[in-house]
Amino acid sequence: MKNIIIASTSTVHGQSYLEYILPTLKEFYKGIEEIVFVPYARPGGITHDEYTEIASKGFATIGIKVKGLHTFENPIDAIENAKGIFTGGGNTFVLVNALYENNIIEALQNAVNGGTPYLGTSAGSNICGQTINNTNDMPIVYPPSFKTLGFINFNVNPHYLDPIPDSTHMGETRETRIKEFHTYNSLPVLGLREGSWLEVKGEEIILRGEHSARLFLQGEEPKELNTNTLVSL
């Protein structure tokens, strides 16, 4: 049975890394001493070692060790034998390109569909959907495919931002970009606001956190989904 947390972000304003969700993660990874961290997204271009150190410090507060996937001689074996997995945020295109380069897409799908607990934040959440077409990131590399893990039957737009009243910014809003996506695609998109996450247990998906989420369906007006409610698409 799938056991997944799809979080909009790793860090909310004014808090340390993963602080807002650590009580949930302590229960989520209960009984697990070490998890495998996928550092491929490299936020800001930091190294895999630097990123793993950040994740390690966050999880140390709940007594869990973190080992970077890049340190294993065989990444496929590492995923297959992991007790828990965490994929951090950064650039989604860089992340997906590395997943394909290391041939671990199928290994991740098999492990997580088989019940290995999986946490994704930001880019690590983007890859839980059907494609990465709704990422906010710049395409600084060109992965072999935009198709990803497909743990849920819709796409996620992490860090979803609502339009700011009286803003002088003339660029497109997130809502505008998602509506552009729907002129060519029928796949539903869920805008996850900062500090919110999806709890996936088997085929059941529940919105958690302090905020509602914004659901976009092709040809329809966006809808607000309240927290602690079932996401059924």
Query: Tens digits of per-residue pLDDT, 32-77?
Result: 999 999 999 999 999 999 999 999 999 999 999 999 999 999 999 9
Catalytic entry in 56, 159, 182, 212: 159
Determine whether 56 is an active site residue.
Answer: no
Q: List pLDDT tens digits, range 153-170.
A: 999 999 999 877 777 765
Kindly state the percentage of the chain with pLDDT values over 90.
Answer: 93
pLDDT of 140 above 70: yes
- Catalytic one among 8, 10, 48, 122? 122
At the fourth CATH level, the homologous superfamily of domain 3-225 is Class I glutamine amidotransferase (GATase) domain (3.40.50.880)
pLDDT level of residue 232 (50, 70, 90 thresholds): confident
Predicted structure pTM score: 0.96
Q: Average pLDDT of 85-100?
A: 98
Residue among 56, 137, 182, 212 flagged as catalytic: 137
Is residue 209 predicted with pLDDT exceeding 90?
Answer: yes
* pLDDT for residue 170: 58
Catalytic (active site) residue 159: yes
Active site residue 122: yes
C-alpha distance from residue 94 to each of 6, 8, 10, 67, 101 (Å): 19, 18, 18, 20, 10
Average pLDDT, the chain: 96
Confidence of residue 171 (pLDDT cuts 50, 70, 90): low
